[in-house]
Structure 1
């Protein structure tokens, strides 16, 4: 009798994470983290285990969602709306590297209400873009810090401001 699919996926994740950890440890490299200064990528030789982890984790995630939640998750136009605002207003550049700033300060600089700014950024925080180290304060993750690069913010701005709306007009 074969194991249930969720158990197979969990085993794949566990084994692959072990291999990834062994490789990183043997090279003296840190494990992945959301910290602002964490490495942006894994070594090339870990691509096979990285793919195994991501594929199994995505399938497991989808398997345990209820159908309506699955459809909502994969049709997440809210993600693009949030990312569009972050890029349009240049919010990543309002957060100091290695520091933090308040929702109120960001609201003042963007012209958005503080309530809207808080909701927008807390949604981004659920995607691991920014973090709230203490209530009311915003700090970088490695993803938000990457958006301080003008080319990356421009890429996001074009993707969410031009391509995403155009795709909806097919």
Structure 2
């Protein structure tokens, strides 16, 4: 990879018709329907914050799901059917597949405790309702409730006692 801001692919974002792109035949990533709906919500509320990564011939290296949801009429209308694209120089197929895997796996996963803190803050400090958190974070009610409740379980379980009863002491 070349050094310097101007040498980075992100410096060459272009808007191209979504129909000029096509899926690759090997992407192992699967996104469930709730996450696809969340991706739509993300683009509709926040706009395009990440480009699709593609080869010069339009084959998608990363961003297949962003490309997929860009067919939604509401998203399509936002940019007249154009999507943001960063083109990679044509790598060997193996390198391209590795790039796809890196893009997918590098996103990591959410920790329960940080998510619990975020949900509690959204409700307690930012004034969102449980249904708003459900819709905007792509969560089920049970998930929001459990994350919100994360800090209060121990207090309720002890009934305000500071010590557990003997029933809790293993013999």
Alignment TM-score, normalising by the size of structure 2: 0.25
User: Hey, which of these two has a bigger chunk of strand by percent?
Assistant: 2
Kindly name which structure, 1 or 2, has the bigger radius of gyration based on alpha carbons.
2
Alignment TM-score, normalising by the size of structure 1: 0.25
